[in-house]
Amino acid sequence: MLYPRVSLYAMMLASAGIPLYIHLPQFASVELGIGLGTLGVILLSIRLIDLVQDPLIGWMADRWPQAQLRFAMLAAGGLAIGFPLLFSLTPGPQATIQLVLTLIVLFTAYSLGMILLYGRSATLAKQPGPHELLTLAAYREAGLLAGVIFAAIAPAALAAFGAAGQGYGAFGMALGLFALLTGLLTRPIWTRPAYVGQRLSIRSLANAGAFRLLILAVLNSLPVALTSTLFLFFSGDRLQLAEYAGGLLVLFFLCAGLSVPLWTFISQRTSPKQTLLIAMPMAIASFAGAAFLDAGDLAGFALICAASGAALGADMVLLPAMFSIVLTKANLNAAAAFGIWSFAGKLALALAAALALPLLEHQGFRPGGPNDAQALGALTLAYAVLPCVLKTVAFAFVLTLPSEKPAP
């Protein structure tokens, strides 16, 4: 039951990752009346807190490895409190400050849980070798993707069953209860003796090849961050497919989840680098294809969601596993390193929101309202063209990574 519990904990954390960025712009703008430009500034400002906080959390996890159970339960508790608070906010003069404080609670709990989950890879794996680390990564990312699917469609499903508004209030309560239950069920995985390596330094990270992977993590996260942040806007306002958005999200993440065993199989017989070089062109082609869709093209967008979802599965399972492998080989403190990794990933999400949302507002885009050709063109540029360019840059960077032998 070790790996299934890892999957469950990952599923809980996933609800505070990409799904929050999917739902937050719509919830904040439509339900709370907060402008897109203001929201972009809020998200980027919170990332400045993470700049200090995430590496500090990683340092704490390595400094007190015997406290990993307490840290893991604290993360689950923060999500159990934060989600109901977030989605119970109401419009008013204090809405912005309340949103900021609640997001700090949520993102801090998320950071703590994710840094533990990834930083303790050698502890949670049955053996700290490359093959077993890739197997652990497959279970972990499958859990993350299951959580993403659940959280992505939950508000619409709850609304369909009679929840008030767009289902966000019931959504927050459901996520809070799920976090509470997950904390109780996953306690055993955090009682395993913690594997702790040598102290981190800039030189040790560079010698291990970890810096190159951190750069790749940011480059590769930006395209997904943009499309995640703008998905509901693009599907609803640009393609006029708002009623199909929930199903398309399910298709996207379902294809990502189903692809994980395939990418794991290929990487264990070739190498993670070679597998990325197979998967990344799929993402590039899907981003490019989205730019040429016409309004109402459900079949075309469904095909793009399926292809880009399958490509995402490779990113999610391989990049963290590659980072874990180089840290384990170098016998370095993984939690502190994953504190930096966590910040790099969230920085990409924040940059996407901080750049794209004010740009769209400046171009006259209004979520759910009448939008002219200029506003919709800006949305297409941000959702499809820019991610295509960024993913191509990430692909070129992967080509520069050293070649690897298949994992034994």
407: pLDDT strictly greater than 60: no
CATH 1.20.1260.10 correct for 2-399: no
More confident site: 171 or 407: 171
**How far is Cα 149 from Cα 14, in angstroms, rounded to an integer?**
9
Q: How far is CA 124 from the centre of its chain?
A: 21
CB half-sphere exposure, 81, CA atoms < 13 A: 14
285: pLDDT strictly greater than 80: yes
Reported as a single tens digit per residue, the pLDDT across 315-334 is: 988 888 888 888 888 887 77
Report the predicted TM-score, pTM, of the whole model to 2 decimal places.
0.74
- Domain locations in the chain as residue ranges: 2-399
Residue 406 pLDDT grade (very low, low, confident, very high; cuts 50, 70, 90): very low
Torsion of CA 250, 147, 152, 258, to 10 degrees: -20
- Burial class of 126 by CB neighbour count within 10 A (0 to 12, 13 to 18, 19+): exposed
